[in-house]
Amino acid sequence: MSTPDLTAQQARLPGVLYTPLAVSGLVCAYQFLPGSAPRVLEPAEVPLALASTDGWVWLHLSLTDRFARSWLSELPLLPEDARELFSAADEPKA
């Protein structure tokens, strides 16, 4: 199986110069494509799956991991208000 050229897909993701071997705080990831059963993604497959225009991706991340929160806050595929929510500091409730 050949490895696809990731350059175009990675241009839409944070960290455009590499494909990470791990996504910090990633618990599990699934890709849902039309007409197919959900597929478990390996961490290195996440960037390419997110760049795909087919189907959608479910990422379960531990938000206690500051690197995961930082990664989410920079992910251009998320709406601005969602990115702001992930980057906001937790404040204790009074």
Note the pLDDT tens digit of each residue in 42-86: 888 888 898 888 999 999 988 888 888 888 888 888 899 988 888
Q: How many domains does the chain have?
A: 1
- pLDDT at site 38: 94
Q: Does residue 46 lie in a domain region?
A: yes
- pLDDT of residue 31 exceeding 90, the answer is yes
Structural contact between residues 25 and 63, judged by C-beta atoms closer than 8 angstroms = yes
CA distance 22 to 75: 16
- Report field, pTM of the whole predicted structure over 0.85: no
Q: Does residue 64 lie in a domain region?
A: yes
- pLDDT of residue 89 exceeding 60, the answer is yes
- pLDDT at site 36: 93
Q: Does residue 59 lie in a domain region?
A: yes
Q: Does residue 43 lie in a domain region?
A: yes
Q: Does residue 8 lie in a domain region?
A: no
- pLDDT at site 58: 93
CA distance 43 to 24: 9
Could you tell me the residue range of the domain that residue 53 belongs to?
A: 24-86
Q: Does residue 38 lie in a domain region?
A: yes
Q: Does residue 4 lie in a domain region?
A: no
Q: Does residue 94 lie in a domain region?
A: no
